[in-house]
Amino acid sequence: MTVYSHSRLSTFENCPLQYRLKYVDKIKLDESETIEAFMGSRVHEALEKLYKDLRLSKTNTVDELLSFYDDNWKKNYSGDIRVVKEGYSPQNYRDTGAKCIREYYARYQPFNDGKTLGIEQIIHIDIEGYKLRGFIDRLSCSGGIYEIHDYKTSQYLPLQSHFDSDRQLALYQLGVQDMFADVREVDLVWHYLVFDKEIRSRRAAQELLELKNEILVLIGTIERAEEDNDFQAKETGLCDWCEYQSLCTKRMHIVKTGQMSLNKYLNDPGVKLVNQYVEKTNEKKKLMEEIDAELELLKEAIIAYAKKEGVEVIRGNDKKLRVRIEEKTHFPTKEEKGRGELDAIIKEAGKWEAVSDLNVHALAKAMNGWSPQLIEKIKEFRRMEESCRIYVSGLKERE
Residues making contact with ligand SF4 (CB under 6 A)? 15, 17-18, 233-235, 238-239, 242, 244-245, 248, 250-251
**230 or 279, CB closer to ligand SF4?**
230
**139 or 239, CB closer to ligand SF4?**
239
Closest CB 244 distance from ligand SF4, rounded Å:
5
**15 or 132, CB closer to ligand SF4?**
15
Whether the bond into 332 is cis, omega within 30 of 0: no
* Strands 3-4 and 130-142, bridge-based pairing: parallel
DSSP label at residue 31: P
Closest CB 247 distance from ligand SF4, rounded Å:
7
**233 or 349, CB closer to ligand SF4?**
233
DSSP label at residue 22: I
CA distance 12 to 9: 5
* Strands 185-192 and 197-201, bridge-based pairing: antiparallel
Please give the C-alpha separations between residue 159 and each of 162, 172, 201, 308, 326, in angstroms, as whole numbers.
Answer: 5, 21, 12, 69, 58
Whether the CB-CB separation of 39 and 89 falls below 8 Å is answered with no
CA distance 124 to 136: 11
**16 or 118, CB closer to ligand SF4?**
16
**15 or 321, CB closer to ligand SF4?**
15
Please give the C-alpha separations between residue 16 and each of 133, 222, 230, 233, 268, in angstroms, as whole numbers.
Answer: 20, 8, 8, 6, 30
CA distance 16 to 1: 20
Please give the C-alpha separations between residue 277 and each of 271, 274, 280, in angstroms, as whole numbers.
Answer: 10, 5, 5
Closest CB 243 distance from ligand SF4, rounded Å:
8
**15 or 306, CB closer to ligand SF4?**
15
